[in-house]
Amino acid sequence: MRHRPIYLDAHATTPVDPQVLAAMLPYFTEQFGNPASGGHVYGWEAEAAVQQARESLAAAINADPQEIVFTSGATEANNLAIKGVAEAYCAKGRHLITVVTEHRAVLDPYAYLQTLGFETTLLPVTATGLVNLAQLAQAIRPDTLLVSVMAANNEIGVIQPLAQIGAICHRHGVFFHTDAAQAIGKIPLDVAAMQIDLMSLTAHKIYGAKGIGALYVRRKNPRVQLAAQLHGGGQERGLRSGTLYTPQIVGFAKAVELSLATLASETERIQTLRDRLWQQLQAIEGIQLNGDPTQRLVNNLNVSIPGIDGAALMLGLQPTMAVSSGSACSTGKAAPSHVLTAIGRSPALAAASLRIGISRFTTREEIDQSAQIIIDTVQALRQATIKGSVGSRIF
């Protein structure tokens, strides 16, 4: 008997990989020093571990170790990148560009900067969720400071053409920031080849611990200057004060290392599982795929199911499956997904949607069981709707 629901919400978070946990543990109990304590061996050990992790993360994205700034996660990294650029370069311009399907951790800092007198342009997306590159180029003005486009969408998994966006930004002398929280460890990322100036990362989407992330900040060609958003001890070259969380940092690097080491094999395995699930779910009449069918993360499946109540669907699945109807960071908000409405889904259809995220621990048996659970739940809800309609006509 299954005691826990099948977990298919890997875009919200992932379990810590046992190898990641093993790498972290010594820095909680034995090598527990503060990296800033330069007068004894405990500090030296922690500092060496942090430096090794910094080098490992930098190598993963083809950056220099000095370009890695550790943060508490991608939300803080996004805020530091966006507000940091705006504040540092406000004398040069006050125009910022992003995309309507971005995470709230990008959209909300943009909205905040509007209250300070900055102008923002929110670009639409195509029906499959991709940015129109011609529209992006046309939106850039002489006073544009920053373009922020998510690498891979957290709801529909769409992968944006980062290298082409980077080329457009650099051609116009504009900084390019990307939120790569969902992309790191799942697709190849190269900040040099893709001409990315700022990149936000997090550990807990790739089997690392929650509470640790990083911001890549380009140091040359062009050099990006940021205004710090946290002030204090001057850690991270003054860009992000606060005692560095050594165990989490070590675990973050290990998580990225493991993900890249198994990237080819896991991509093939997970895509096979996702395609198997999608094939089975097409037994549901009218089911619609959300997002580009090919330019998407292999572990993502987002579907809309017409003719049912979204809340009833989630309630029906809860005992046996852990899935999401949208971003986990927007839980409790009654409004339909802004990502799904941006690609043309009606509010009702957006509410009757499932975001399925497959992990490295998902099995074929769980995929088959999940497909049947979803199909049975939808059929039951549709039959109940039909009976209710008939009853209302009679009485």
Write the pLDDT tens digit of every residue in 54-65.
Answer: 999 999 999 999
User: Distance between terminal CA atoms of the chain?
Assistant: 43
169-179 average pLDDT score: 98
> Which of helix, strand or coil describes residue 28?
helix
**257 within 8 A of 250, measured Cβ to Cβ:** no
CATH number of 6-14+262-388: 3.90.1150.10
Please give the distance of CA 137 from its chain centroid, rounded to a whole number: 24
Give the C-alpha separation, 363 to 197, whole Å: 38
Q: What is the dihedral of CA 302, 152, 99, 306, to 10 degrees?
A: 0
Give the C-alpha separation, 336 to 351, whole Å: 6
Give the C-alpha separation, 353 to 127, whole Å: 16
373-391 average pLDDT score: 82
The residues assigned a catalytic role are 329
pLDDT above 50 for 354: yes
Which positions ≥6 away from 8 have C-beta within 8 Å? 321, 322, 323, 356, 357, 358, 362, 366, 370
Give the C-alpha separation, 391 to 246, whole Å: 63
Bond into 142 cis (ω within 30):
no
The arrangement of secondary structure in 18-260, i.e. its CATH architecture, is: 3-Layer(aba) Sandwich (3.40)
Band the pLDDT of 245: cuts 50, 70, 90.
very high
Residue in 268, 149, 235 with CA at minimum distance from that of residue 200: 149
pLDDT at 238: 85
pLDDT at 1: 43
Instruction: List the beta strands (DSSP E) in 149-197.
Output: 175-179
pLDDT at 334: 62
> Which of helix, strand or coil describes residue 142?
coil
pLDDT at 392: 44
Mean pLDDT of the chain: 94
**98 within 8 A of 123, measured Cβ to Cβ:** yes
Band the pLDDT of 227: cuts 50, 70, 90.
very high
**C-alpha neighbours within 13 Å on the C-beta side of residue 323:** 29
98-115 average pLDDT score: 98
131-139 average pLDDT score: 98
Which positions ≥6 away from 165 have C-beta within 8 Å? 131, 133, 136, 147, 149, 176, 178
Residue in 211, 222, 210, 214 with CA at minimum distance from that of residue 189: 214
Query: How is the chain split into domains, by residue range?
Result: 6-14+262-388, 18-260
288-306 average pLDDT score: 98
Per-residue DSSP letter, 303: E
Helices (H), the chain: 18-24, 26-29, 41-60, 74-88, 104-114, 133-139, 162-171, 246-261, 263-281, 310-317, 338-342, 347-351, 364-394
pLDDT at 385: 76
166-172 average pLDDT score: 98
Give the C-alpha separation, 204 to 182, whole Å: 10
